[in-house]
Structure 1
């Protein structure tokens, strides 16, 4: 399963070269990840209301082609891997002509918000666990 999210590049996201500042791609990854989760029928907000957060524990970003102010790009997001505790999301940021500009992954766990004690997604949110297993089975298309 892959979810595509459109992004219109805003002026404030660029540097003096009119190229998207590198840290903004991580923000776009988060937008794509949120869309992916919503497509499965869940919301981060509900997780946070339950006292749980999902920090990034590792990120890889590979810059292939520059993205510039005014362009429209798409963030394709999918599950790269999932084992009940750790989730790895894959991302590909593509230009309107489907040229890949940036690709990467982020690894996440879930923790108790107040103590940062690690939790099992499989035990804490069994519906999410099942949805993630189904998403993995369906592949990336």
Structure 2
């Protein structure tokens, strides 16, 4: 199972009136992490989009545990929780500088044709991606 990591410096503009990271910014950081895991697997989202394929979010869930503040560095960990050739679920954990768990999350995605938004099979359209995701995903017998 591949776990990719991305460090993100918390910027002032990402905080709210309480001085903590505004909740929606974690979604942006999750997107940055997805780009990283794709890159770590040797691929590029931009190339997929050039082929007329998009990967919209179909579901997202975030549990907030500890706040992050301006000037801190967040560590985002991402892995492929589930993958079936059509749908992908990514798992996330974001940690504070003290390595305290700040959030746990997942996002679900499906690849679609850009012009029609009809789902496509990654297995057929991008066999190299399919093989890499199969090898990198969390094993079914894996226990946390």
TM-score interval, normalised by the smaller of the two chains:
over 0.9
Runs (5+) with no aligned partner, structure 1: none
Report the Cα offset of residue 53 of structure 1.
Answer: 0.3
What is the CA RMSD across the aligned residues, in angstroms?
1.5
Q: Is contact 1:78–1:140 with CA below 8 Å preserved after alignment?
A: no
Q: Once the two structures are superposed, what CA deviation does each residue of 1:84-140 show, in whole Å capped at 9, x if it has no partner? A: 111000000011221110110000000000110110111111000000011026779
SS of residue matched to 2:71: coil
- Matching residue of 1:32: 33
Structure 1: distance between partners of 2:143 and 2:90: 11
Distance in 2 between the 1:37 and 1:111 partners? 17
In 2: Cα distance, 1:136 partner to 1:68 partner:
32
- Extract unaligned runs of 5+ from structure 2: none
- Residues 53 and 111 of structure 2 are in contact (CA less than 8 Å); yes or no, is this contact kept in structure 1? yes
TM-score, normalised to structure 1, is: 0.96
In the alignment, what sits opposite 1:98? 99
Relative to the length of structure 2, the TM-score reads 0.94
Shift of 1:68: 0.7
Counterpart of 2:110? 109
Alignment of 1:1-141 (within 5 A): 1-136=2-137
- Dislocated runs of 4+, deviation >2 Å: 137-141
Count of residues in correspondence between the two structures: 141
